[in-house]
Amino acid sequence: MPTELPRQLGLWSAIAVVIGTTIGSGIFRSPAGIAAKLPGPFPLISVWVIGGIFALCGALTLAEVAGALPRTGGYFVFIREGWGRLPAFLYGWTELVIIRAAALGGISLTFAEYLLRALGYDPGLAPYDTYAHWVAAVALGAMASVNIVGLKWGALVQNVTTLAKYGGLMLIVILALSLGLPKTGGHFTPATPPGSFSVSAFGLALVSVLWAYDGWGDLTKVGGEVADPRRTMPRAIIIGTLAIILIYVLANVAYLSVLSVDEIKGARLVAADVAERLVGPVGVTLVSITVLLSTFGSVNGSLLTGPRIFFAMADEGLFFRQVAKVHPTFKTPYVAISLAASIGIGFVLLRSFEQLADIFVTASLVFYILSVGAIFKLRRRPDWNPSMRVPLYPLPPLLFCGATLFLLVNALMDPTQRWGTVAVLGVIALGIPVYFATVGRNSRR
């Protein structure tokens, strides 16, 4: 049974994976919820800047680790090498039952809602709110098929949609600053009105921002398919992350150039509202196309990267061996892709966007800490020979892990998030008896 995946991704395709898997639904859906928690221009912009700094700290750390361990599976490999097989299994377990399905569901649902709006239907009203879930399910199935047919096809879709979505966002920024800002003068004062900032609210808003930034490490999951990985992986992760931070901060400045904070709070599809204010119905069409390409590309990127975790687990004997099968013609992990898409379809038919986003971020926080924190153990290995080293070490990984731990504790302390967080942590913990009842009994050392 073949389990080798060929190295086909070059530098620009790798950068496209980083940007394409990150820029999805978050920048188009999260600003409304963030503005509700931080109803002031300065807190609203600063949470995106600080989220970007945290993401960059994590990206710099993983750039070192990924350059030294360029293997299929990414975080799964880093956690296994740093902390052992049980924590690695728990990551794969959580990816299977929560993280990947919630990510695919949330992004594809945003794609479906913008598609319905582009066709003239309101996805917030019946029966179109139900139709959106079915459209999202069909989109997931279609993109799974593209990725099964071949990595090159998935990479091509990723490259095209990444250029389109980044260019579309930049066009919104240019229009807002050139047309909107001269008319409105912007909505940047008062910078911090009374009641616009609290530590707890900032922490909850930062969770939403990290949902939007998530994806900067997804390239590592296809590390076994990147050409010249010791050079390509670190460069692609760092360049891609910096490009994302730039466009996210500019996009929020653009939103505030056209809409007030109160208007952003009520703008479920904020980019479309900004474009409509600037150039009328043509703007809505423009933004709808941008978001469709963005979310479509992000679904593709998630299916390009996420299933490789299940493939790596199976190849290591930590999951059903059949999941490690490589298609004899297309040379792709087709069983793993089909599995991820099937569970994602189940989630999108049963959950709302907000539920999916909260589930995804909460479950991811634990494994962000383990993945980035693995560098502290890996650097002690006498054979550790990365192609680059984290600048200012150990500050970036310490800052990232500390901030991520704060977000997790903040979610547990907040009464509106507490029980949902406990439920997610309970599902993660459930993986422990599953491990010892299955693969853990015959664990390979």
Three-state secondary structure readout of 199-267: HHHHHHHHHHHHHHHCCCCHHHHEHHHECCHHHHHHHHHHHHHHHHHHHHHHHHHHHHHHCCHHHHHCC
Burial of 183 (0-12, 13-18, 19+ CB in 10 A): exposed
**Model confidence band, residue 333 (pLDDT cutoffs 50, 70, 90):** confident
Q: Is 137 helix (H, G, I), strand (E, B) or coil?
A: helix
5 pLDDT above the threshold of 80: no
Tokens representing residue 130 in the block: 């139900």
Nearest by Cα to 248 from 189, 208, 292: 208
Domains annotated for the chain, with CATH where assigned, are 11-440 (1.20.1740.10)
Residues linked to residue 67 through DSSP beta bridges, in sequence order: none
When pLDDT is averaged across residues 39-56 and rounded to a whole number, the result is: 94
Residue 110 CA to chain centroid, in angstroms?
A: 14
Which of the residue ranges 13-27, 38-52, 110-124, 268-282 has the most confident prediction, judged by mean pLDDT? 38-52
When pLDDT is averaged across residues 95-111 and rounded to a whole number, the result is: 82
Task: Report the alpha-carbon distance of residue 18 to residue 214 in Å, rounded.
Answer: 10
**Model confidence band, residue 445 (pLDDT cutoffs 50, 70, 90):** very low
Task: Report the alpha-carbon distance of residue 134 to residue 225 in Å, rounded.
Answer: 32
Which of the two residues, 60 and 4, has the higher pLDDT score?
60
Task: Report the alpha-carbon distance of residue 97 to residue 342 in Å, rounded.
Answer: 11
227 pLDDT above the threshold of 80: yes
Tokens representing residue 299 in the block: 């679904």
Percentage of residues in the chain having pLDDT higher than 90: 31
When pLDDT is averaged across residues 147-156 and rounded to a whole number, the result is: 75
Task: Report the alpha-carbon distance of residue 271 to residue 254 in Å, rounded.
Answer: 9
Both ends of the chain: CA-CA distance in Å?
23
When pLDDT is averaged across residues 22-42 and rounded to a whole number, the result is: 86
pLDDT of residue 2: 44
417 pLDDT above the threshold of 60: yes
Phi, psi torsion values for 188, nearest 5 degrees: -105, 0
- What pLDDT, in 10s, does the model give residues 177-215? 999 899 888 899 898 999 888 888 888 888 788 878 888
Residue 22, sorted as left (phi over 0), alpha (psi -120 to 50) or beta, turns out to be alpha
Helix locations, 100-228, DSSP H: 100-118, 128-149, 151-175, 181-184, 199-213
Phi, psi torsion values for 226, nearest 5 degrees: -95, 130
Which of the two residues, 26 and 68, has the higher pLDDT score?
68
Average pLDDT of the chain, as a whole number: 85
**Model confidence band, residue 353 (pLDDT cutoffs 50, 70, 90):** low
When pLDDT is averaged across residues 324-339 and rounded to a whole number, the result is: 86
